[in-house]
Amino acid sequence: MLWLALVFPEWPLQARFRTRDGTQALAVSQGQRVIALDAHALAQGVRVGQRLADALALAPDLIIRSRAPAAETAALKDAAGCALHFTPRVSLDHDALLLELSGSLKLFGGLDRLQRTLQRTLAAAGFESLTACAPTPRAARWLALGKPGQRVRHLAGLPDALAPLPLEVTGTGDAALLPLRDAGLRTLGEVMALPRRALTLRDAGPLLTLLDQALGRQPDLRIDHSAPHRLDSRVELPVPRQDSDVLLFAASRLFNAACARLAAAQSGIGECALELEHERQPPTVLTLRTGQPTRDPRMLASLTREHLARIALPAPVAALRLQATDWLLMPGRSRDLFGAQAPSLPETRAAASLLVERLRARLGHDAVHALSGSADPRPESAQRPVEPGTARPGQARPRRPLWLLTEPEALAERDGQPWRHGPLRCLEDSERIEAGWWDGLDTPSADEALRDYRIAIGPRQEVLWIYRDHRPPHRWYLHGVFG
């Protein structure tokens, strides 16, 4: 077996904001002490374990947030969802992930390539990690904490690899390590060199159990993480903002994590909700519809950009939350001998659906629709707006223009001939329409059509669609223009 440990430094800070590239100093506190901080706070002299008053004296502009265990658990599950794309055996371990990779190395082109791809995936979701490999999960975690980048492939190499590590990597706590420190022991190698009976007398039994698990002498059972089929991720902003670029960057963290998890489940989503949380206002909800199942974070980011360009936020955004419950099966497709993958019909339809959703995000949902044919022969009723993708062709009819006037335009008549900027010359083709009587069975309907349509050529050689009404006073009307 080969275990890869991913340890996330400054985890209380990472889990909450998923970024360490801000322009302001950030810190997370527990009680009255600093437990995590970013590089800006570190540069100003703030240290882990410092009292809050001392930290603020060194960095007056320091932004301090209280620790949020629930947010840390949720963020660790998001990171585990990204890791499930690379192996089904992912275990949560406090502020770390443990992955068993022996069955995945060949699929991803070896350990080096797998590890690089995994860390890029996590970085896109806002997670930075320290890594190490070992034949046991506990040894991998200890190495990631004490000697990041170390790789041990065989059990025989573990004692030498673990020997230089400080006792603090075991995570047993100061109270358990105090008797060993009083005895002058500082590293795992010094502990392993002593007789076991002597260590037992110093209340080091729990540490010996952990050491045996790390060396492969005792079983170290791990529970594989199973992600539910729903998305519910949240990320906070250090300072409430309204800038579209800042909001898109934070949203991309959520999209990348969600899409990596969807890829692991061979699934996609056709709709999701992005909530923009305000401090004193109800959240602004952006409904992102893709038309077809997708797990492409760039597509979701593009739709979000269109929505943000159209709306006015009522207040700065303090946090973003992504939710999606309806997952759709979206298996991959094999490539041909040369690695090419021609677009399929579903992919072509997906591109058309994406165009519709982008237009709706920019213009409004009700501003974009399709036209479906109708059995009504009246030109103004021959088509009706419907949801894109549900349109049906109408009946075959004589030649009609695409451009109809909103209201027919009454034409002048001279010597029985229709007139518009001059005499109109009617062609032989005609179409008679007698329809609309069913709109008012009890009383005569104003929408009843009794018309003879003709194609006419105007004095400027324009091609017009005109008709003569059968009802008095039997006038001529212009109803459409041919392109």
Nearest C-alpha neighbor of 481 from the set 206, 471, 71, 460:
460
Query: How many CA atoms lie within 13 Å of 349's alpha carbon, on the beta-carbon side?
Result: 9
Report pLDDT for 444: 45
Residues 6 or more apart whose Cβ sits within 8 Å of residue 146 = 164, 165, 166, 169
CB 29 within 8 A of CB 64: yes
In the chain, CATH 3.30.1490.100 sits at 231-330+345-363
Q: How many CB atoms lie within 10 A of CB 125?
A: 26
Nearest C-alpha neighbor of 302 from the set 261, 264, 359:
359
Nearest C-alpha neighbor of 238 from the set 71, 79, 70, 28:
28
Nearest C-alpha neighbor of 46 from the set 62, 32, 65, 31:
62
Tokens of 258: 């969600």
From CA 131, how far away is CA 153, in angstroms rounded?
A: 14
Report pLDDT for 272: 92
Write the pLDDT tens digit of every residue in 324-354.
Answer: 988 888 876 666 656 555 555 455 666 677 7
Nearest C-alpha neighbor of 78 from the set 16, 168, 169:
16
User: Which residues of the chain register pLDDT less than 70?
Assistant: 20-22, 201-202, 332-351, 375, 393-397, 436-447
Beta strands (DSSP E) in 309-382 are: 317-324, 327-329, 370-373
DSSP string across 172-203: --HHHHHHHHHTT--BHHHHHHS-HHHHHHTT
Query: How many CA atoms lie within 13 Å of 462's alpha carbon, on the beta-carbon side?
Result: 17
Identify the CATH homologous superfamily for domain 231-330+345-363. Answer: DNA polymerase, Y-family, little finger domain (3.30.1490.100)
> Residue 58 is which amino acid?
L
Helix axes 174-182, 205-214, angle to 10 degrees: 100
From CA 259, how far away is CA 257, in angstroms rounded?
A: 6
Report pLDDT for 334: 62
Q: How many CB atoms lie within 10 A of CB 344?
A: 10
From CA 25, how far away is CA 9, in angstroms rounded?
A: 16
Angle ∠(250,256,260) on CA atoms, nearest 5: 155
From CA 210, how far away is CA 206, in angstroms rounded?
A: 6
From CA 345, how far away is CA 89, in angstroms rounded?
A: 35
Angle ∠(320,88,341) on CA atoms, nearest 5: 80
Tokens of 184: 């002058």
